[in-house]
Amino acid sequence: MMPVHKQRYLLKPHAFIISVLASSLVPTTAMAHDTGWHGQITPYVWATGMGGNITPFSRAPTISIDKSFSKVLKDLDGAFFLNGFARKERFVVNGDLLYASLSRKGEVFPGISASGKLKTAALTLTGGYRAITDPLVTLDVMAGARLWRVRGSVKVPLLGEQKSSEKTFVDPIVALRANFTLDPDWSILTYGDIGGFGAGSEKTRQFLLSINYKISDNMHISTGYRHLDLDYRNKGMLIDTRLTGPFLGLTWQF
């Protein structure tokens, strides 16, 4: 996820997550001399592991997850990650979309097995101000929201039970994003946000580090590491999960 900027000294860090971004998952650059809009879009692959606890509804069994990406991949039904970024002078906006569907089987009590499914979609939208603009470093200060849609289900064949629950909620977030130019072709992006504050979830956090390389005038490739976690508790539903792992993205600037 790369910078948007007309100068040769591109600040192109990337952003998991993904998320994604993402994140925020995309680098930016030093200020351009014109006053028009500059944008970029980045589809990316996030090799995320997953950990945490999920209780899809009140009195349902809790399913614990602690899996590396290779194990998550076996349970993965589908995933999609996309990041976008735009800037006009010092005004910046960022969006990140992630979707993942996972299934898992295991024992909830000795001799009693259950299967669970978790579908998660998150759309992060932020806007803000470029507080620092320099040929070597930029800093964006942003605020916005992360919209979550989470559906969890549990099936216990021995007991003949199958239940599900779906929640949609919005977390306010604040974010910082810094880009560092290493040379005309290489750059680093760091991004972090935090939110929830009890308005939607108890807490959500995200962190991303990206290394970016310019492969053509309007194309960049990015790789790095992204972490996203969520702690949501409401009416017996518990989602305390973390997604973390490396990512690879390709950015097109326009």
Low-confidence ranges of the chain (pLDDT < 70): 1-35, 50-52, 54-78, 102-116, 153-164
- Is position 223 within any domain? yes
Question: What is this structure's pTM?
Answer: 0.74
> In which residue are the tokens 């592991």 written?
49
pLDDT at 213: 96
Quick check: is 32 in a domain? no
Q: What is the pLDDT of residues 35-53, one digit of tens each?
A: 688 999 999 988 877 666 7
pLDDT at 36: 86
Distance CA 15, CA 173 (A): 16
CATH number at residue 197: 2.40.128.90
Whether 195 is in a domain gets the answer yes
Instruction: Give the range of the structural domain holding residue 163, as residue numbers without chain letter.
Output: 37-253
Report if residue 22 sits inside a domain. Answer: no
The Cα–Cα gap between 31 and 111 comes to 63
Question: What is the number of alpha carbons within 13 Å of residue 208 lying toward its C-beta?
Answer: 41
Q: Is residue 19 part of a domain?
A: no
Q: What is the number of domains present in the chain? A: 1
